[in-house]
Amino acid sequence: MAEGSPPTDSEQTSQAVQRLMDQYTEIARLAGALAHEIRNPLSTIRLNMELLSEDLEESPSPTSQRAARRVDLVHRECQRLQDLLDDFLNYAKVRHLDLQPIDLNVEIAETLDFFEPEAKEAAIEIVRYFDPDLPSVLLDREAFRGALLNLILNAKQAMPGGGQLVARTTATGGKVSLYLIDTGCGMDERTASQMFDAFFSTKPGGSGLGLPTTAKIIEAHGGRIHVDSEVGRGTQFTIELPVPARLMNDE
């Protein structure tokens, strides 16, 4: 851009995106600092509850036993808050991904292999339909596997009596798609529309941050995720990831 000339539309867009990223980074930093400040006294409370519980165990009186049950309740609630803070910190942190060209089929297969023993115990059959000609995509292996495993565990929870989990991949129009389909209880339209909203959960005691964190990881890869579900029929999560032009040309 020549000196003194107005910025182009592209430059204005880039500057606006950078301002938003700077604002998001600052908000994430403040949120993380606040969560850490809460976690420190919370840890102290938990420790003192454990010590108090040990003291009460030495006294068999009914009063001490009632007090011990109340102490145990406080301790459990402290642990729930600790878990919520950990989930929140994972959700709020700014992600700097280490993107590498990766075979998506291999990543999915290895994650399913890891889940296989748990699937057998839960009477869940895993079915794989992988496109053998799938082009490579840029992935942060650790972050993506965490997101995928969260979806798999979500599917397991939807099939308490067992069922089938299908993983299918396809490639179309400069992108690859993963379809993760379960035969679980499904959900209504209202619930499905809120699945990726922070702190929305249908599970007792759930933080409501698992699926929003998964969505953030997918979006950080330049991809998108959406859900289709029907009560009593099951749920399909669809992940779409872009294939960079240079990788398409290399295939």
DSSP 8-state symbol, 93: S
pLDDT at 52: 78
54 lies in some domain = yes
Pairing verdict, β 224-230 and 175-182: unpaired
Q: What is the CATH number of the domain that holds 21?
A: 1.10.287
Last residue of a domain, one of 92, 111, 131: 92
Instruction: With respect to residue 1, please indicate whether it lies within any of the assigned structural domains.
Output: no
**Domain, as residue range, for 158:** 100-250
Domain boundary among 92, 116, 150: 92
Q: How far apart are CA 215 and CA 75, in angstroms?
A: 32
Q: With respect to residue 25, please indicate whether it lies within any of the assigned structural domains.
A: yes
DSSP assignment of 213-248, as one string? HHHHHHHHTT-EEEEEEETTTEEEEEEEEE--HHHH
- Predicted TM-score (pTM) above 0.75: no
Query: pLDDT tens digits for the chain (251 residues)?
Result: 455 566 665 555 556 555 655 655 666 666 667 777 777 787 788 788 777 777 777 777 787 778 878 878 887 888 777 777 776 776 666 566 788 888 999 999 999 999 999 999 999 999 999 999 999 998 888 889 989 998 999 899 899 999 999 999 999 888 999 999 999 888 888 887 777 776 666 666 565 677 888 888 888 888 899 999 888 889 999 999 988 766 555 55
Q: Evaluate whether residue 2 is within a structural domain.
A: no
Find the CATH number of the domain harbouring 215. Answer: 3.30.565.10
Domain boundary among 60, 92, 124: 92
Mean pLDDT taken over the chain: 80
In a shared domain, residues 108 and 228: yes
Q: Which two tokens stand for residue 95?
A: 């992600």
Cβ contact 184:235 at 8 Å:
yes
In this predicted structure, what is the pLDDT of residue 3?
53
Identify which of 199, 194, 183, 176 has the alpha carbon closest to the alpha carbon of residue 231. 183
Task: Judge if 50 and 120 occupy the same domain.
Answer: no
Query: Distance between CA 152 and CA 130 in Å, rounded?
Result: 17
**Domain count of the fold of the chain:** 2
Same domain, 201 and 128: yes
Contact indicator for 80, 205 with CB cutoff of 8 Å: yes
Angle, vertex CA 46, rays to CA 44 and CA 49, nearest 5: 110
**pLDDT at residue 84 in the model:** 75
| DSSP track, 208-222 | S-HHHHHHHHHHHTT
Please tell me whether residues 66 and 180 are part of one structural domain. no
**176: helix, coil or strand?**
strand
